[in-house]
Structure 1
Amino acid sequence: MEGGSETPKLKLDIINISQTSQIQFGLRTEDYQRYRQYLTRRLLRVRKALKTSLGKKVYQNKINDPKNVIDARYLLIVLLKTERAWAYAMDLKKQDEQEDAPRKHHHMERRFLKAEKHALQLEKFCVATCDDYTIAEAQAYAASIKAARYTNIQQWVQARDENIVAKAIFELLIEIGDSSLKQIYEKKIEESQTIDRYCQYNLRHAGNIPDPINTNDLISNIKSKLSKNIQNKETSLPMETITWRSKQIKVSEKVRTQMVTYDSIEKEFNKITGDHLKRYPYFDKMIAQLIQIERVIKNDFINIERQNIKSKSVKSEIELENQKTLLSFVVYHKMKYLYERNQILSKIFFRFLNGEKSQEDLSISRKKKKVGVQDLVRIYGDQIKIFTSMVDNRPDTSSSASSLVASKDNEAQLLLLRSYRIYFIGLNLLAAKKWSETNATIEKILSNVQQIKKITKSQDIVKSATDLEDLVNKVKSQIHANAFMEQLSTNEDLKNQMNSLTIQSSEKSKDLLSGIENYDASFLEEKKLVEYPPQLQPTTTKPMFFDLAFNSCEFPSLENRKKAQSKGLFGFWK
């Protein structure tokens, strides 16, 4: 205490630093030698920065008194020494299993003991100089190191009890700790569960299973120290956390203030039901607010990426993933409201094209003086992009049965939007009197409609597809009539054929098929559709015909045309 003010408490992310170092420097492939060599180099760098190098010329005593710990980097030195001793022990254990060398086994035990010694020293320093959260992490870390040592020397009861302590503290930190470290704590709990099962298995074989240690007093003590964190969590500010894709994400203060404004607008919007005239202005307000939130999140995202370039850690990677998830939440809702707004606008524009104008429609589209087919083509082009982005950022990305049905519905809806866009493009081509191109768009729409009905079972989507099919069929007959009239005006042969048509016939038809080119109804007297049996007609002879009939034909004998062969010795010269 100096001048009536307390010395500030130190803070060190023990679990984050250890896990990040292990993942980045060798333990992904269980290369313990590479990991401890990295720790040695890092220890040297930290000692040089603190000017506490232990050289031969100028010897400096090691810091063993917590009063001399005035910087968090002194705690980092003890943590790195613990990790180095543990990594050396694990490397010797791996070699002992492969070579069965007794000396390496004894060396391994000494290294585990040294790691335990450094872990207890780290816990002692943290209790004296650090905040309560760092103390809890140090206790859990020391318990896990001790559990590893007891497991190695086959003291199953002590290993189980230390493992239970570490697991209980990690479970408490998940509840009241930093949300960005939740995944790291869960991973440590999974590791402790594996060790716990191994200890229980060996204890069952030993036959004597004592009761496990009671951690209620320890957890209640840690909870009482971390009561401020618990109170802050219970009295959290509105929109401080966002739940999206089964994740609970804590947002920054800048994002939170923007989210509160958005939430108030959304609540007012949800109160209004059925009235498009009153709901429509809220779409622009919510979309504008979500765009501002998106801009703030992207700036935070860029800052985290820049920090990762300098020093990447597991915590920063988790924060980056949380920012991506939060950005997905904002983009989904922005696209959702933009999609609903454009759907209302497209229906109003379509009514304008059909000459149906109401006062409500005019008030919504007051900025648009004249509506054309090209406006609807543009709107549906935007709708395709918006809907695709909305599907990419949807809340449910699992592979369950309900999500598979939803994905099929999304595929059908996207195909329906494309079909509507093609329909309005076809109307543009129809206005330009391009009949063949318009007919091609119609055939494409009809094939899309049939495909939509096969993909989805949603009644709304099928109804919209059926309505589109009815619109297309109306246009289809108009296209065929206009195309025929244009061809009639340009093609002289067709024009002459049409002029030569008459409803009177010089000959009476005996059946329907023979009089199909005239309008004579005399075949009704004979009551015949076709002449049966039909008259014989000459057929061109081809080799294929004879090849097929060869086995059924009886050919005339040609024996009498053969010349008689002469017999005798001189018959050849006759």
Structure 2
Amino acid sequence: MKGTLLFEQEKNIEAAMLNFKNTRTVYEELGKYGSIENQLLCRQRIEEVEPMIGFCSRKLGGSALQEHDLLDMEKEGPAYDLFKAKIEAVLSETRSQQAASMTEFNWLGRRFPITSAKTRVSILKAQQLEKDLNGAATEPIPADKKLAIFDKLFSAYHEARSCIRNDLASAGNAENIRDELNGLDKAVSAVLGLRTIERNQLLVTIAKSKFAKHRDEKNEKITKPEELVRLYDLLIQNTTDLTDLVSSGRDKNEEENAFVREYELKDLAFRAERCFYLAKSYSSVSKRAEAYALFSYAHSLADSALQELANSPHKTLIQDLEALSFNCRSNSCIEHATGIMEDESAPERLSKGVSTISLGDDKRKDTKYLLDILGSYESALGEQSAKAPCRISQFPPPFQSVPCNPIVLDMAYNTIEFPNLENRMKKEKKGLLRRFWG
């Protein structure tokens, strides 16, 4: 409580940090004893104190947490609201001080002046998030945290684009200012497109790892090849938009031409990967001919990209394409062999299926129902491991033949006129009394 009071008053940050550290030490010692609930409670208190220690260290100029770690707090409460407000205030002040010295934005060998303070702060925030995203040299950042940083990064660049376009609307007829703002807007949009491609590549990496496992240990949803096809569709669209944006200028420098060429080759690699997983989706439904054709086409696309990248410094991309080419070749051979085996065994399966067809009711005769065996002790539930329902009675009941006259004979009988045979019938003799009584 004393550390929180000093933290709120901002009078003695060093004393506040010392109190927070003592609090952390006490909770660490208490967490070693007691029940599990007590240990969890102590651990929760330690997690509440850790960000405040990092903030105090930042204020004192020592080692600090990353910006996304300070802002990425999901807990709520009065203390956390105060802490977040102070973090935002300090970071905004720091960005404003750094933005005062930021006068231009560099992109592919071109420099674009930045005159608006809001635009500077937004771009500076985005650049700081990029450093946090790529600056984890000691410990890798988890994928879910990277995705959260990407979301904040996109928000910062969208805010910068909004400020630039507001400046364009108020620029009037000043051609020089409008040209500079248009160039800055194009550069920021290109960086935004580039980061979008990186985010989608991260999603592809996550999906590939799940697809390779086939069965996730945490009972999560299995990644299907169709999902990877959709992700590669997004990557192809992002790459096309980015190359169109960068190549839209009249006078392109060497860096812009090299950038466009690089992403045209990446687009070819993305198309080969998409074709590979599209073939996987056809293979999963036993469409051998389509899968074989798509694997062969993906193999040709991968080989074409490898020829273009023969002298390229992108070793990782070359290794991925070599692995893709090998997988396409092996999978096409497997699909070819499987298709031939299925074609050869098709007549045998057909004849076997025809031979097992029966017009009788043999299978039903083997099945015993409870109503048929009431006089004997025999289970009608089936095996315990089986999921079949109880065999109480057959429903719907089987068809049975019923004796009846053919309708043709009935019609013939109704149309025949039989002769009168009363004169041939033997007359019964009756006595006097029977005649009298009728």
Normalising to structure 2: TM-score of the pair? 0.48
Normalising to structure 1: TM-score of the pair? 0.38
- Which of these two proteins has the greater Rg computed from alpha carbons? 1
